[in-house]
């Protein structure tokens, strides 16, 4: 493992149990120090309450290891860590600003690791991402969290319950954190898979809001892929240094197991992206079909209305001619042509019948009646 070597620890008397790493932000001390401990031979030998006490405790116990857990520390705290452990200023800047991509970089004898944890929120059906920065040296581990996840108190308790594993030093802490982050991806994969199943049902049920949900879920899958994908290269880089830094065989197997799990997660994520793309295409086809059916129904309705309008217009035209003639001759003016004509009445009736019949035949031939 680059920049790290195994150091045998001096046996020390075990001290009280670890303070919880995962606590609410409003309950955190001003210093940002959540938990700090010095371990010797895999056992907690000291539980300092400040960074200065931690530095002194580590100096007093050569060959031991310090694990300092911080939550959103300020620049002064990180500067004191940089001065004590010789941390590179670029890594410190990244730890202060956060919002970094997952990566593993070596600065001299120190490793700087950035991880993106993830957890699935069942109540809102969303994925929440957290950011964790790790500084790893020969005798110290500094973890800087910028979110509530991952829960490092669980990782710390697991290691303290297994002194043999913790005795491997800083490599064991890095392995345990990587394992916890990758294991945390499992519930996220299950939650996303359940969401995709729901979306498939909504697509075929014709839910009009499903397109937006497909888009939002696709964004979550992309963010998840960005968090998990770099782990493959990071773990390969760690594996490349196994022989050079004489990493214990058990840790090698454990890290390979983490790499296998990470590869499985990434395969599932790739499958989700393909599936969501196919679902979006199917949804587009179904929407287009529905629109075509609606347009066809609308056209049929419009045609039926046009037929009715034609019929009404034809009969109105047929009735217009007799009405016009009758209205003219109904005026009863004294000086009016044909008003006193003997054949005027039958002639007017005949004209009405003739005009109406001619219009009827004309409209009938056009199919309006």
323 occurs within a structural domain: yes
- Cα atoms found within 13 Å of the Cα of residue 350, Cβ hemisphere only: 5
158-172 residue pLDDT tens: 999 999 999 988 989
Q: How many domains in the chain?
A: 2
Last residue of a domain, one of 287, 318, 348: 287
Phi, psi of 216 (to 5 degrees): -65, -40
99: left (phi over 0), alpha (psi -120 to 50) or beta: left
Q: 264: domain CATH number?
A: 3.30.460.20
- The residue segments making up the domain with residue 50 are 25-287
235-244 residue pLDDT tens: 888 888 777 7
Last residue of a domain, one of 256, 287, 318: 287
Which residues make Cβ contacts (< 8 Å) with residue 294, sequence separation at least 6?
A: none
Q: Model pTM?
A: 0.71
Q: What is the mean pLDDT of each run of 10 residues along the chain (369 residues)?
A: 35 36 46 89 92 93 94 91 93 88 90 94 90 94 89 92 91 93 94 92 82 90 93 87 74 89 94 91 81 76 76 77 74 66 75 80 78
Residues 314 and 176 in one domain: no
260 occurs within a structural domain: yes
Which residues make Cβ contacts (< 8 Å) with residue 358, sequence separation at least 6?
A: none
Residues 115 and 203 in one domain: yes
Q: 359: domain CATH number?
A: 1.20.58
Structure tokens at 281: 């295409």
1 occurs within a structural domain: no
Tell me if residue 318 falls in helix, strand or coil. Answer: helix
315 occurs within a structural domain: yes
Residues 84 and 195 in one domain: yes
Residues 144 and 199 in one domain: yes
């Amino acid at each position: 493992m680059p920049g790290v070597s195994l150091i045998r620890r001096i046996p020390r008397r075990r001290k009280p149990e670890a303070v919880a790493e995962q606590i609410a932000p409003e309950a955190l001390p001003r210093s940002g120090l959540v938990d700090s401990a010095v371990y010797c031979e895999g056992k907690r030998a000291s539980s300092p309450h400040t960074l200065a006490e931690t530095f002194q405790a580590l100096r007093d116990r050569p060959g031991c290891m310090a694990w300092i857990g911080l939550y959103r520390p300020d620049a002064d705290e990180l500067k004191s860590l940089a001065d004590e452990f010789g941390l590179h200023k670029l890594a410190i800047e990244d730890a202060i600003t956060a919002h970094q991509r997952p990566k593993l970089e070596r600065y001299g004898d120190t490793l700087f690791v950035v991880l993106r944890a993830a957890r699935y929120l069942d109540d809102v059906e969303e994925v929440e991402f957290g950011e964790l920065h790790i500084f790893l040296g020969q005798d110290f581990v500094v973890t800087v969290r910028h979110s509530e996840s991952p829960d490092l108190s669980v990782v710390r308790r697991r290691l303290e319950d297994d002194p043999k594993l913790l005795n491997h030093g800083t490599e064991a802490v890095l392995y345990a954190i990587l394992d916890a982050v990758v294991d945390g991806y499992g519930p996220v994969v299950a939650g996303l898979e359940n969401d995709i199943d729901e979306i498939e049902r909504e697509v075929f049920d014709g839910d009009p809001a499903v397109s937006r949900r497909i888009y939002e879920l696709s964004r979550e899958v992309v963010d998840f892929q960005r968090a998990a994908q770099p782990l493959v290269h990071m773990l390969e880089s760690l594996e490349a240094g196994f022989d050079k830094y004489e990493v214990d065989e058990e840790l090698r197997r454990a890290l390979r197991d983490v790499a296998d799990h990470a590869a499985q997660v990434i395969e599932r994520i790739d499958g989700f992206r393909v599936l969501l793309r196919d679902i979006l295409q199917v949804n587009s086809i179904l929407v287009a079909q529905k629109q075509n059916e609606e347009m066809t129904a609308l056209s049929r309705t419009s045609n039926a209305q046009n037929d009715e309008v034609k019929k009404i217009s034809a009969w109105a035209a047929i009735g217009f001619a007799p009405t016009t003639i009758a209205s003219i001759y109904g005026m009863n003016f004294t000086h009016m042509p044909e008003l006193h004509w003997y054949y005027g009445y039958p002639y007017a009736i005949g004209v009405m019948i003739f005009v109406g019949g001619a219009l009827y035949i004309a409209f009938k031939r056009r199919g309006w009646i």
